[in-house]
């Protein structure tokens, strides 16, 4: 939840405030006491919305309704933001060319959906003697996907595995 705090009514520290009334009109700079009197006349709250301005800006409004609309705006912003996912394809250096082409085809679909794709070649046992086979598979995947994405960083060999992450362009 958003931790932004608002000073209201008597809790406002500034002595002079720029006031905006409940209709959205700029009234001008008035004292805190005068602003509180105006807010009470309308049976609303005085809320400091821009404390860093000179003088601070305060608005006359219904504070509970204001908090409700702020929460709604934050919720809508979270709902419309897309989280990218990381899809991983893990295989050995002796994978068949058709199997590799299938994995590359699936990766193309994920990249079109703006997800990131990670290819990992894992070496086991005697496969460690020929890492160049794994490098070839990774380079093939990168070249096949070059029109849809680019590598986040160069492929790396770490703990008997070569891996590269491809990001959608």
CATH of the domain at 39: 3.10.20.80
> Residue 27 is part of which domain span?
7-79
pLDDT at 5: 83
Same domain membership, residue 98 and residue 39: no
H-type alpha helices, the chain: 32-41, 63-80, 97-112, 131-144
Number of domains in the chain: 2
Decide which of 56, 79, 102 is a domain's last residue: 79
Q: Residue 120 pairs with which residues in a beta bridge?
A: 90, 163
pLDDT of residue 104: 94
- pLDDT given for residue 3 in this prediction: 54
| Domain-embedded: residue 2 | no
Residues 114, 49, single domain; the answer is no
pLDDT computed for residue 107 by the predictor: 94
102 contacts 119 by C-beta, under 8 angstroms = no
- CA 91, distance to chain mean position in Å, is 31
Q: Are residues 39 and 74 in the same domain?
A: yes
User: What is the model's pTM?
Assistant: 0.54
Which segments of the chain have a pLDDT < 70? Answer: 1-3
Instruction: Tell me, yes or no, whether 105 and 61 share the same domain.
Output: no
Q: Which of 28, 62, 79 is the last residue of a domain?
A: 79
Indicate which CATH number applies to the domain containing 90: 3.30.110.10
Q: Which residue has the tokens 């912003």?
A: 77
Are 44 and 91 members of one domain?
A: no
In this structure, the answer to whether residues 135 and 72 fall within a common structural domain is: no
My answer on whether 155 and 100 are in the same domain is yes
């Amino acid at each position: 939840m958003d931790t932004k705090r608002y000073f209201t009514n008597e809790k406002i520290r500034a002595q002079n405030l720029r006031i905006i009334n409940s209709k959205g009109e700029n009234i001008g700079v008035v004292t805190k006491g005068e602003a509180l009197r105006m807010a009470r006349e309308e049976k609303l709250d005085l809320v400091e919305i821009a404390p860093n301005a000179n003088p601070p800006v305060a608005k006359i409004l219904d504070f509970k309704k204001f908090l409700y609309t702020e929460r709604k705006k934050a919720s809508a912003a979270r709902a419309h933001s897309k989280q990218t996912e990381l899809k991983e394809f893990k295989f050995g250096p002796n994978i068949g060319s058709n199997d590799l082409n299938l994995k590359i085809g699936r990766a193309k679909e994920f990249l079109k959906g703006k997800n990131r794709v990670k290819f990992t070649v894992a070496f086991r046992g005697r496969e460690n003697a020929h890492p160049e086979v794994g490098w070839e598979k990774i380079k093939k995947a990168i070249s096949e996907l070059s029109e849809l994405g680019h590598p986040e960083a160069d492929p790396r060999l770490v703990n008997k595995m070569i891996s590269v992450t491809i990001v959608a362009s």
